[in-house]
Amino acid sequence: MKTSMTLTIRNVLTLVAIAMSLGFSACNKDLELTPESSYNTADFYKTIGDFRQALFGAYGGLRSVHGFDYPMMMESLSDNVNSLQNTTNNPLARFGFTPGDDRILGVWAAYWSVINRTNNILDQIDGGEFPNEETRAIMKGETQFIRGYCYFQLGWIFGGMPIIDHAMSAEEITTIPRSTQAETFAFAVADLEAAANALPESQGGDNLGRATRYAAKAILARLHLFNQQYDAARPLLEDILAYEGLRPFDQFSDCFLNTRDNGSEHVFQIQYTSGLNSQGNPLVYSLVPENLRSEQFPQGGRSTWLAVSNDLYEAYDTSDVRRDFTIQKGYKSANNVVDSLTLLFIKYAHGTVPPNNLDNDVNLSIVRITDVQLMYAEVLNEMGYVPDGEAFTLLNNVRARAGLDSLTSAEIPDQQTFRDTLLNERRLEFACEALRWFDIVRQGPERATAIMNAFLAREEEGGGSITFDPKYLLMPIPDSEIRTNPALEQNPGY
Amino acid sequence: MICWMLCTWLTGYSQQDTLKREAPRDTIAGIRDTSQSDSVQKRVSGKVTDEKGTPLAGVSIGIKGLETSTQSDDQGVFEIRVSTDSAVMLTFSMLGFEPLEMPLRVADGQTIVLRPSEAETLEEVVVIGYGTVQRKNLTGAVSSLEGEAFQNNAITNTEDGIAGKIAGVRVSQRTGGPGKAANIKIRGLNSITASSNPLYVIDGIPQDHMRNVNPRDIASIEVLKDASSAAIYGARGGNGVVVITTKSGASGATQVDFHSYAGYQEVDRFLPMMDTREYTAYIRYLRDSRFQQTGGDLSLPISSRPAEYQYPEAYLNPAALPDNNWQDIVYRRAAMQNYALTVSGGGDVGTFLLSGSYLNQDGVMQYTGFERYNLRANTHVNIGEKFKVGANVAASFNRMDDPETDGKESNAHYALAMPPVVGIEENTETTGYSPAQTYINPLARLREMTARAKASELQINSFAEYFPIESITLRTQIGYISAHASYQEFTPANVNRGEQANGYASSTDNYSFSIQNTATYRPNLGENHSLELLLGQSYENIRQEVLAAAGDGYPNDLLPTLNNANNPTLASTTIGESAVTSFFGRAQYQFLDKYLLSVSARYDGSSRFGADNKWGLFPAVSAGWKIDEEPFLQDADWLSLLKIRVSVGKAGNDRIGNYEHISLLGIQNYNLNGKLVNGLVPGNIANPHISWETTVSRDVGLDFWLINDRIRLTADAYFNKTTDLLLNVPVTRVSGFSTIRRNIGEVENKGIELQLTTQNVKTESFTWETSLNFSKNNNKVLALAPGIDQLIMLSTLNDFNAYATIVGQPVGSFYMYKTDGVLMPEDFDAEGNALVPIVNGQQEGNVKIVDLNNDGQINERDHTIVGNAQPDFIWGLSSRLIYKGFDFGFDIQGQQGGDIFYLGRRGFHNGLGEGTNQYRDWLHAYKPAAYAGNVPEGIDMAWDGRTPSVVGVNPPYNDTWIYDASFVRIRNITLGYNFAHALLKRWKVRAIRLFVMADNLHTFTNYPGANPEANNAGGADTGENTRPGTDYGGYPLSKRFTIGVNASF
């Protein structure tokens, strides 16, 4: 019995060994599978081509956020958008938002992800293979332009930001506290100045649309203006205005036609092209109601559209060509309901009608040359009111294109009046270009609160049921960030 | 625990030893008792055998009415002393045999033959991984369901057949769409952001689903619930394993079985939406009031108002308008039919089973439906005595028409939201839109849209077995599955709400190859020991290739195929692959058929994990003690099994993406000068150390069977702890990303399960069986990541926070504002300023949000847990009565507790009435005094005391969107008749049964939506745990009435 059992066990072991060896060919190497349809980061960032793709990826991030979350948020907050309509969908317009607001998070997350992309490039670009140092320098400057722009945007929207100047792990990031707003801007200034030195005057051919030296200078000037550093802004604006490649279009309407994309009016634009895979502009239809039907909008708009305020509409002179180009009063819906009162932004809808409503072809301007002109006028006025001086000329040039009479020192007798007139002109010129909220915020808490409270007190705008608090001048740090990053302190009041 | 088992095992051993040696003394002791009353004694002896004459050892022989008893020895011989009263009756009993009583004088000196008992449960074997075990000797927590159990339902999917029938298994019917699979979770949620779905093993081949199995082909389903059972599947067993064994032929005459049923289905219930009279009155009140709020003048013509405050003049005279209940229009009475033919048989050479079936189920929603063909050939051939080869080949083909049926903007949504004033022919691009609403006519959309999914699958599972000697089985099994799924979608311009026609098509191929080699050794160690050793090795590779394309620019609405799309908008192919290599072994040992021990281990390597962490070891041990076999219970004839089981084991979960340990680049393109330029950006934060999620489960079980197995109670208590979760840990967006996958966090599931099966009546003409099960699971998150004690999730519409997974709480709670009624006039001062914290824009009558942190403002800090989708307990009750030729059965299923998030309240149950129909409740919304004059005459719109005013703001999301999801559902009632044998003999038919069935007859619930188990707006795939139980207007469940026939030849 005992012998036979031993034998049996030996037999078993032999047989098991044979059986298992059949399948032993399958071992560790079969577990080393690499993705067949995705690129692997490990061998990326080598050649100029790799860096170009990485850079375009950063631009791509700006295209996404500027096509919806950013402009929708900025216009909603400002006095350009009615606070009562569409109440469920737009807590930003009625100041009923909280730090958990998804659009605020969308803007925040987008800029940081672009910053991460630029950091990855800047960390490795010095070791990359470039045909010559000049190309490397230009690409480096372009990357710094994007990073500097993002820091400026984050800085004025949210306040002081942590300075993340190279790619870091999430753990490392959570050890870096918020710096002050001034420090944040200083970091942005360094990037933008480096860009202004490195970038070419213009980009042409298949590079059309990439950042130029003047784009960097214009953003830099805007930053200085926010800080009321008129001395610093002045030479930058003068440089831009001196460049012959940038001149206003003759017609205001031409500024928003896809056929005039990247023309001399535009200092820097985010690029949108219809008919390519997801490269179209989705903002245009997002501004009008879902059930609207018109020649410009054969497929209607979006459920989260923006109702324009009467306050903005009434701010235009009836002879101002910009009013009816920017705003449509009343509309007809798909079910033939006729509305003669509702105000809609149609500023970007005058060009080629796209086959698909979220695939509009028109670019969105970050800086137009009239913005540079009006910034320069502002700088001149702040440095000293000169009756009917150069500032007046600049202002009147913009007004003239809008079909308005020139203003003289008779109508604008002092510096404060000029300041107010200029800000009003900016509101009308740049309505729906995400600049109004910027212009309100930079006037300081007192004036900004006064503007917003006066607006919200209007029965049809806020009905008196909405009160403005100066804390809203800085957006809250998104709730999820406070939870995941102990180094981030919430802005006061939230 | 192991120590305890070991002790029990050892002491049990010694007791048994003692018993054997001292048996005569026991007998004498027995006699002593009786001798006190009667001193005249007689010695009686005899022999007990089975029907074949084999001596039976261990038969219990007693004297009726007395305590005295003895046992037969190894030769079947017994001897007992009794008093000389000749009327004494001897009783013979042994497990597995019919008890026998015999007068002493007849029995004396004779050979007594015991017949096997009829209770088949004795032979009942349970399929466990890579083997079987007798149910009575099972040591793990395994529930089984024989295929018979759901042959009496009109079901499309196996999942539906399991629902409510197995303790510890929660089957949720998330949608009523024909052919849609239900969701199965075993013993709660082990995982947070990885999948919690079980592993399916079909005829030995591990798979992700069982949707292509024909329920009628199933011989049995076993659910391996504890990790000790599931550990043999190692890294993939952590969520439990569903083992499916398909039918095979049996030796004997060839048998032909035909089965068919046919009938119709109806929507369970319609929801209480407004009719035209109510709708027009409501809209008039609402729009007048909101216009008034913005300072509008109600005396001016309605057409001079902004569009959102206008309504057609015709609303002033609703009697002249259409009054359509769109639920009536979208839903229908629908047909369902099923046919199955099986031929099976076998002999010395082997066995075969061939089956074919066809199912056709129209959906209760118009133009939806499901159709499936199944073919199967299960065969094996004996080659001499030492070889056996076989193959199970299964082919299936199915087709599903499912045009936007479930969830937001679906036809189910529009069936509720479409105002009654819209005409049946209105609201397409060609017919124009009703002034009431621009939603696309759901009937037209169902009719004109194409959304067809087709799937075909071929499973080839071949095996060879070699028996070099009697005690050894060597087995090699090779499985190959080729599954192809295609989907074609086309939305014509006519029903695309202003957008041009567009089309989409995809084609998915899954190839799965697996090889398993096992060796099983069952040495003969004498009658006291039984041992089975298993050693095995396997390799699997799964590859998926997806091709997708889309386009628009169709010249017209006539042809849906993409070749007619002049403007391609998508062309993509993607490939994914994963592989698992494993080594495993198991030893099952039984001593004296009452001490049971099983030890197993699996060593798994997976391609999904980082280089240093590809391999993991998953051991398990379980033990059982059949107490009824102990001498002190030998006399307890009423007891047929009393077994205690304990087990502990470790299993894993690898359900994440294929390449998460590798840092990949994502595409983020840009355009310059009107041309596309390629952009590549970092796509994820790779975690090169990523590895298994590990579940350690402990289980204590009791099997308590009485009266010849007529009462069977199985009770289990378990404690599962999952550690090193594959958690998507939120990271600061400053990093450029939102999450990183890490092995971190802990979840526990604790619960109890009861399964009670009773044969209440058993006579020749009448049997009545009942089965009851109950499961309670407590799920709790023990830890997340360092510094993170909650994961907060946006609603699936990505608008506001709605869910949270918080340490100390169950996974996936609803996390929102808490309300306390509505804002009353006394909550405002004379100037209209709120005296309580409100959200900007709120007015009298709006929901009153509780300022939980008392900081004077309403924001995320005031969010709290307002519910959870996991139930308190679930239960099921099935019963079957057979009287002569008639049989009657019913299944009831219930859930107590658990909540559901009715996201439909965003559209057709929010009172806003932006042209959408509303629940009737909103007629009775709060009316601030200022707007009371806007209520049209002749309609009751008095406040019901709870519904808030919709003028102003009711901030989403709050607890008024959360409902109790408790329900009781009558799943099935069946009445059948079997023709008498005499009659059948004349017809040369083996059996004929006619039956009528009612399925999903009714669901009792307080939930106002269509289905308390609906989940059509929750997170997909891995989001389903953190964003559970969310309904935005789902495809309702249907009740089914069918008649059918079974015939065997």
Q: Which has the closest alpha carbon to B57: B45, B68, B70?
A: B70
Q: Is residue A400 packed enough to be buried (19+ CB in 10 Å), middle (13-18) or exposed (0-12)?
A: exposed
Neighbours of B465 (CB within 10 A): 19
Instruction: Give the residue from chain B lying closest to A356, CA to CA.
Output: B499
CA–CA separation, B645 vs B775, rounded Å? 18
How far off is chain B from A411, nearest CA to CA, in Å? 34
Q: Do A57 and B668 touch (CB under 8 A)?
A: yes
Of A209, A276, A337, the CB nearest to B435: A337
Q: Do A273 and B671 touch (CB under 8 A)?
A: yes
Q: Do B681 and A35 touch (CB under 8 A)?
A: no
How far off is chain B from A175, nearest CA to CA, in Å? 11
Mean pLDDT of chain B: 88
Q: Do A12 and B521 touch (CB under 8 A)?
A: yes
φ, ψ for residue A296 (rounded to 5)? -75, -30
Partners of residue B682 on adjacent β-strands:
B665
Instruction: Give the residue from chain B lying closest to A211, CA to CA.
Output: B672
CA–CA separation, B82 vs B373, rounded Å? 68
CA–CA separation, B692 vs A159, rounded Å? 42
The interaxial angle of helices A69-77 and A48-66, nearest 10 deg, is 40
pLDDT at residue B107 tops 80 = no
Q: Do B671 and A276 touch (CB under 8 A)?
A: yes
Predicted local confidence at residue B195, as pLDDT: 87
Predicted local confidence at residue B35, as pLDDT: 37
Q: Do B575 and A16 touch (CB under 8 A)?
A: no
pLDDT at residue A88 tops 80 = no
**pLDDT tens-digit series, residues B470-512:** 889 999 999 999 999 999 999 999 999 878 899 999 999 999 9
Q: Match 């003409």 to its residue by tokens.
A: B765
- Chain A to chain B Cβ contacts (< 8 Å): 343
**pLDDT tens-digit series, residues B154-201:** 788 888 888 889 999 999 988 999 988 888 999 999 999 888 899 999
Q: What is residue B394's DSSP assignment?
A: E
Q: Which two tokens stand for residue B623?
A: 């033990």
Q: Per-residue pLDDT averaged across B744-770, rounded?
A: 92
**Cβ A477 vs Cβ A493: under 8 Å:** no
Using DSSP, how many helices (H) and how many strands (E) does chain A show? 18, 5
Partners of residue B1047 on adjacent β-strands:
B258, B992
Residues of A in contact with B662 (CB under 8 A): 34-35, 40, 42
Q: Which has the closest alpha carbon to B755: B7, B294, B142?
A: B142
Predicted local confidence at residue A1, as pLDDT: 39
Q: Do A463 and B307 touch (CB under 8 A)?
A: no
Q: Match 């939305």 to its residue by tokens.
A: B491
Q: Match 């569903």 to its residue by tokens.
A: B242
**pLDDT tens-digit series, residues B533-571:** 999 999 999 999 999 999 988 999 999 999 999 988 889
pLDDT at residue A258 tops 60 = yes
How far off is chain B from A377, nearest CA to CA, in Å? 32
**pLDDT tens-digit series, residues B414-448:** 999 999 999 999 999 999 888 888 899 999 999 99
How far off is chain A from B295, nearest CA to CA, in Å? 6
Predicted local confidence at residue B630, as pLDDT: 87
Give residue A343's pLDDT band: very low, low, confident or very high (50, 70, 90): very high
Predicted local confidence at residue A210, as pLDDT: 96
Q: Do B581 and A27 touch (CB under 8 A)?
A: yes
Instruction: Give the residue from chain A lying closest to B537, CA to CA.
Output: A20
Predicted local confidence at residue A2, as pLDDT: 43
Predicted local confidence at residue B14, as pLDDT: 36
CA–CA separation, B606 vs B599, rounded Å? 23
Q: Do A41 and B664 touch (CB under 8 A)?
A: yes
Q: Which two tokens stand for residue B781?
A: 């998150």
Q: Per-residue pLDDT averaged across A244-271, rounded?
A: 96
How far off is chain B from A472, nearest CA to CA, in Å? 13
Predicted local confidence at residue B71, as pLDDT: 79
Q: Which has the closest alpha carbon to B917: B280, B300, B408?
A: B280
Q: Do A466 and B841 touch (CB under 8 A)?
A: yes
The helix or strand, by DSSP H or E, that contains position A52, with its residue range, turns out to be: helix A48-66
Interface-testing mutation among A6, A12, A124, with chain B (most B C-beta atoms within 10 A)? A12
Q: Per-residue pLDDT averaged across A262-291, rounded?
A: 93
Q: Do A335 and B497 touch (CB under 8 A)?
A: no
**Cβ B285 vs Cβ B934: under 8 Å:** yes
Angle at B22 between CA B18 and CA B26, to 5 degrees: 120
Q: From its phi and psi, is residue B942 left (phi > 0), alpha (psi between -120 and 50) or beta?
A: beta
Q: Do A355 and B553 touch (CB under 8 A)?
A: yes
The helix/strand/coil state of A113 is helix
Q: Which two tokens stand for residue A316?
A: 């235009």
**pLDDT tens-digit series, residues B835-860:** 999 988 888 999 999 999 999 989 88
How far off is chain A from B677, nearest CA to CA, in Å? 7
* SS3 letters across B720-742: EEEECCEEEEECCHHHCCCEEEE
Instruction: Give the residue from chain B lying closest to A174, CA to CA.
Output: B732
Q: Do A56 and B679 touch (CB under 8 A)?
A: yes
Q: Do A459 and B295 touch (CB under 8 A)?
A: yes
Q: Per-residue pLDDT averaged across B594-598, rounded?
A: 92
Of B533, B790, B839, the CB nearest to A96: B839
pLDDT at residue A3 tops 60 = no
Neighbours of A331 (CB within 10 A): 24
Give residue B296's pLDDT band: very low, low, confident or very high (50, 70, 90): confident
pLDDT at residue B309 tops 50 = yes
Q: Do A12 and B295 touch (CB under 8 A)?
A: no
% residues pLDDT > 70 (chain A): 94
Partners of residue A467 on adjacent β-strands:
none
Q: Do A5 and B432 touch (CB under 8 A)?
A: no
**pLDDT tens-digit series, residues A18-38:** 555 554 444 667 888 888 888
Q: Which residues contact A122 (CB under 8 A, 6 or more apart)?
A: A140, A143, A144, A147, A166
Q: Match 């008093």 to its residue by tokens.
A: B83
Residues of A in contact with B423 (CB under 8 A): none
Give residue A466's pLDDT band: very low, low, confident or very high (50, 70, 90): confident
Residues of A in contact with B435 (CB under 8 A): 335-337
Buried (b) or exposed (e) across B500-531, using 16+ Cβ within 10 A? Answer: bbbbbbbbbebebebbbbbbbbebeeeeeebb
% residues pLDDT > 70 (chain B): 94
Predicted local confidence at residue A34, as pLDDT: 84
The helix or strand, by DSSP H or E, that contains position B913, with its residue range, turns out to be: none
Q: Do A300 and B497 touch (CB under 8 A)?
A: yes
Partners of residue B488 on adjacent β-strands:
B452, B505
Instruction: Give the residue from chain B lying closest to A44, CA to CA.
Output: B665
Predicted local confidence at residue A224, as pLDDT: 97
Q: Do B539 and A120 touch (CB under 8 A)?
A: no
How far off is chain B from A378, nearest CA to CA, in Å? 33
Angle at A150 between CA A147 and CA A156, to 5 degrees: 140
Higher pLDDT, B159 or B394: B394
**pLDDT tens-digit series, residues B51-106:** 777 788 778 888 877 767 787 887 888 888 776 655 677 888 776 677 787 877 77
**pLDDT tens-digit series, residues B36-58:** 444 457 778 888 888 777 788 77
Residues of B in contact with A116 (CB under 8 A): 682, 735-737
Residues of A in contact with B287 (CB under 8 A): none
Interface-testing mutation among B431, B543, B734, with chain A (most A C-beta atoms within 10 A)? B734
**pLDDT tens-digit series, residues A154-207:** 999 999 999 999 999 888 999 999 999 999 999 999 999 999 999 999 998 999
Residues of B in contact with A207 (CB under 8 A): 672-673
Residues of B in contact with A463 (CB under 8 A): 293-295
Of B659, B680, B859, the CB nearest to A99: B859
Predicted local confidence at residue B88, as pLDDT: 73
Predicted local confidence at residue B6, as pLDDT: 36
Of B539, B569, B673, the CB nearest to A206: B673
**pLDDT tens-digit series, residues B1020-1045:** 655 788 999 999 989 999 999 999 99
Of B498, B859, B952, the CB nearest to A300: B498
Higher pLDDT, B999 or A5: B999
